[in-house]
Structure 1
Amino acid sequence: MKRYVIERLLRSLISIFLVTTVVYAIVFTMVPRNLIFKQDPNYNKMIKTPDSKANYENTVYERMGYIDYYNTKELQEKAAKFDKSVTTAGTAKNEKIYKDYIKSIGNGWTLHRFENKEFYATREIPLYERVYKFYANLIVIDHPWRIHDSSNPKLERYVRFENDKSVGWALTGSGTEHKYLIYFNGEFPYIHQNIVTFNLGTSYPTYANIPVLQVITQGQGRTISKDVTFPTGVTKSSPINIYTRTYKSPKNADSRDKANFGNDPYTNTLNNYADPSMISNSFVIGVIGVIISYIIGLPLGMLMARYKDGWFDTLSTASITFMLALPSVATIYIIRYIGSSLFGLPDSFPLLGASSPSSYVLPALILGILSVPRIVVWFRRYLVDQQGSDYVRFARAKGLSEVEISRHHLFKNAMVPIVSGIPGSILLAITGATLTETIFAFPGMGKMLIDSIKAANNSMVVGLTFIFTVLSILSLLIGDLLMTVIDPRIKLAGKGGK
């Protein structure tokens, strides 16, 4: 078992690497990079200021990993180490110095000029270098020597458990990026950690300059205020999420920071939001959808197998075949129309928002119904195959009824592949909800993927692909392990680990 799990994890890592790398290469080479400015309002205001526009473009390209960029000031500071007489003026003398400097550093750098004659330099980053940087910075480990702030040389450095005034017992740090490395609260998944995190890049142009993982996991909608106890001991109503405290240089602190946090430099925080995060929303409708699909699909598949070739099986098979042939978008619109017209359910999530449970009913129901045909076909086929097995014939010979055989033998054995497929079904419902979430304007990860593709938000596309790939492979592993729990006779690895 141990060898199987280790080998499976190694193969999984290779699969994650290959899938993410291929998507990264496609997105960052085949998608025209200028498309990222289509939905950037700041960019569209710079039409009449070409120098500012060029500087803005290069700054964004640098942030997204397309290029290395030295603006006029940065280039002058770099070149001054080569020749101290250089200035930012667009003179012939400076041009010669800059060209000599660019030539000396090589590595693909190119000198350019703004319309005001000042200079700047860029370097196209090769794809292999970009991919390397992505994986090199993917896993971030927080530790007491992570923060280096010359303006705060006396910063303490420690990691310890303590009863913090603001959050209670927690593993806290100083010199770390996050104040709370491990903490506990009443929000899913209840135990939280900031020791190991993922850096999936920065979102742009939608949710501009916010880390991809933060976009997916933070709340949505309007901010809400709660009673918060600050490190100074003062409790007051505030939208601040005290658990998200990160380091902020004291030189940038303002009077409000001093009033709330005293001399503690961990004053950067996020807000509390009224609505759940994208990943929470997708998880909710995904899990409910899977429950619905199995509640409908398993009994229906069992009845079809029980009365094989009868009128019920024939009629059900025809219905299932029709559902499989019907485009998903048609199924979604039919259920949406029936639910809104006959039962008064909202046909768009924003109508009532996350505060109303009815907003989740139709999206979850649709995800469940879309999965029913696959479950019914698979389960019926499995039971029909098993009906001819030796143990079933032996049970009939003993005088057991067909109901008893189905209940005590067929269904019990069928539980093994059922349990194996549940994690994958949940993931399929979450990641495959792109169409449903888009039609309902549902704020989940599936809709976010579609929106990111349309907006050329390349970092978000790669980040979501990475998350979906990891969850897919993890669900397959969990499914295999669950099979051994249900039926200990199953061995995932034979003798010698093969």
Structure 2
Amino acid sequence: MRKYILKRLVISLATVWVLTTIVFILVRLMPGDPFSSDKMTPEIKANIERYYGFDKPIIVQYFTYLNNILHGDFGYSMKYVNQSVNKIIGDSFPYSFDLGMRALSLSISFGIVLGIIAALNRGRKLDYVCVVIAIIGTSVPDFIIGGLLQFFFGIKWGLFPVAQYHGIKYTVLPSIALGFYTLAMVSRLMRASMLEVVQQDYIKTAKSKGISKFRITYKHQIRNAIMPVVTVLGPTVASVLTGTFVIESIFAIPGMGKYYVQSVQNLDYSLILGMTIFYGAFLVLANMIVDILYGVIDPRIRVAGK
């Protein structure tokens, strides 16, 4: 197991390095200039570029940035005065992480349960209800779901606040809006996987031995059917936990999504690099954890990897 984890760790670190290199090059190739302004004189612009190190060769800038990253320093924003990228991420990420954890807890738990219920009641009313929920969740955009939740539960019925993020009641509607697509995706995947597993020979053997239906479902069907669900959790968890700009904008949540989009619009190189690398590292970490979970759930994967 140690070799399995060490191998995944090395691959993850190499992936983050490749991501950093590619993003660094692409940011420099973006059209425009972060310091372009009609009011800025060439002397002032030259001083600012010297301050940020843009007057040095690109290869020197690259290795300097790598060295800073290794020391945990993403530099200073070029548009937010006297604010470091670390501080911006540190201030905004907790909101996105908290919202994401609530959305994931809701979507994964309910999605798995709905998928199991639909599979066990195939062709019945419960199955149709679960399928309809899954279709709505995968076909309707999240900003429409968010708007409908705000209108009915916030404005019309007054059950929850429609915006801001100041308490538990404020988190209910954005968590549902953010996690509804994941819930629908997980339920569809779990249902299809459960229906596939039930046709396997070992399930038929277990039934012929007189094992109870509950034990067959819990010990054999669910454990084997959940593997495809685990597969999609890596990128899903990373994307949800690092913030979704649309939902954060609709519900006025000061998360990472707002700063990420604004950094691209403002050509804020430091913020673009910092947030992209942070997001990429988070995604790689989530995938690495999923790989390790593979080995825990199915030991055959460790044997194959070895």
Q: TM-score, normalization: structure 1?
A: 0.56
Q: How many residues align?
A: 305
Shift of 1:416: 5.2
Contact 1:64 1:459 in 2 (8 A): no
Change in 2 beyond 3 A, CA 1:359/1:28: farther
Distance 2:303 2:249 in 1: 42
- Structure 2 partner of 1:20: 20
Higher relative CO (Cα under 8 Å, sequence separation at least 6) belongs to 2
Determine which of 445, 452, 474 is the counterpart of 2:263. Answer: 452
* AA in 1 matched with 2:252: A
* AA in 2 matched with 1:459: S
Change in 2 beyond 3 A, CA 1:493/1:20: farther
Shift of 1:323: 2.8
- Structure 1 partner of 2:43: 55
- Structure 2 partner of 1:3: 3
Contact 1:417 1:483 in 2 (8 A): no
* AA in 2 matched with 1:302: I
* AA in 1 matched with 2:146: I
Measured against aligned partners, the alpha-carbon deviations of 1:272-316 in whole angstroms (never above 9, x if no partner) come to xxxxx3121111111111110022211110011112233432443
1:289 equivalenced with 2:103 (yes/no): yes
- Structure 2 partner of 1:213: 86
Contact 2:16 2:277 in 1 (8 A): yes
Contact 1:420 1:482 in 2 (8 A): no
Contact 1:348 1:440 in 2 (8 A): yes
* AA in 1 matched with 2:98: V
- Structure 1 partner of 2:239: 428
- Structure 2 partner of 1:395: 206
Contact 2:96 2:256 in 1 (8 A): yes
* AA in 2 matched with 1:58: A
- Give unmatched runs, 5+ long, in structure 1: 39-43, 68-124, 141-197, 218-276
Determine which of 345, 348, 360 is the counterpart of 2:160. Answer: 345
SS state of the match for residue 302, structure 2? coil
SS state of the match for residue 33, structure 1? coil
Shift of 1:16: 1.4
Contact 1:37 1:205 in 2 (8 A): no
Determine which of 42, 48, 58 is the counterpart of 1:127. Answer: 58
Flag the structure with larger Rg.
1
Map residues 102-181 of structure 1 onto 2, 5 A cutoff.
125-140=56-71
* AA in 1 matched with 2:45: E
RMSD: 2.6
Shift of 1:137: 2.5
SS state of the match for residue 492, structure 1? helix
Measured against aligned partners, the alpha-carbon deviations of 1:197-232 in whole angstroms (never above 9, x if no partner) come to x111211212x2322112221xxxxxxxxxxxxxxx
Distance 1:335 1:372 in 2: 16
Distance 2:147 2:300 in 1: 43
Contact 1:335 1:362 in 2 (8 A): yes
Shift of 1:62: 2.7
Comparing 440-449 with 128-137, greater Cα deviation is found at 128-137
Shift of 1:452: 1.7
Measured against aligned partners, the alpha-carbon deviations of 1:213-258 in whole angstroms (never above 9, x if no partner) come to 12221xxxxxxxxxxxxxxxxxxxxxxxxxxxxxxxxxxxxxxxxx
Change in 2 beyond 3 A, CA 1:389/1:324: same
Distance 2:197 2:30 in 1: 49
Contact 1:4 1:493 in 2 (8 A): no
Change in 2 beyond 3 A, CA 1:402/1:435: same
Map residues 60-79 of structure 1 onto 2, 5 A cutoff.
60-67=48-55
Distance 1:382 1:407 in 2: 14
Distance 1:11 1:376 in 2: 31
Determine which of 290, 298, 302 is the counterpart of 1:492. Answer: 302
Contact 2:97 2:242 in 1 (8 A): no
Distance 1:348 1:58 in 2: 43
Change in 2 beyond 3 A, CA 1:37/1:210: farther
1:317 equivalenced with 2:131 (yes/no): yes
Distance 1:312 1:410 in 2: 19
Distance 1:493 1:470 in 2: 27
Map residues 349-428 of structure 1 onto 2, 5 A cutoff.
349=164, 353-354=165-166, 356-400=167-211, 402-414=213-225, 422=233, 424-428=235-239
SS state of the match for residue 202, structure 1? coil
Change in 2 beyond 3 A, CA 1:3/1:126: same
Contact 1:430 1:446 in 2 (8 A): no
- Structure 2 partner of 1:118: none
* AA in 2 matched with 1:213: N
- Relative to its length, the structure with more strand (as a share) is 1
Distance 2:24 2:287 in 1: 24
Distance 2:257 2:93 in 1: 9
- Relative to its length, the structure with more helix (as a share) is 2
- Structure 1 partner of 2:121: 307
Change in 2 beyond 3 A, CA 1:65/1:310: farther
Q: TM-score, normalization: structure 2?
A: 0.87
* AA in 1 matched with 2:163: S
Contact 1:304 1:316 in 2 (8 A): yes
- Give unmatched runs, 5+ long, in structure 2: none
Distance 2:276 2:303 in 1: 30
Shift of 1:402: 4.1
1:202 equivalenced with 2:13 (yes/no): no
Contact 2:243 2:255 in 1 (8 A): no
Contact 2:77 2:84 in 1 (8 A): yes
SS state of the match for residue 203, structure 1? coil
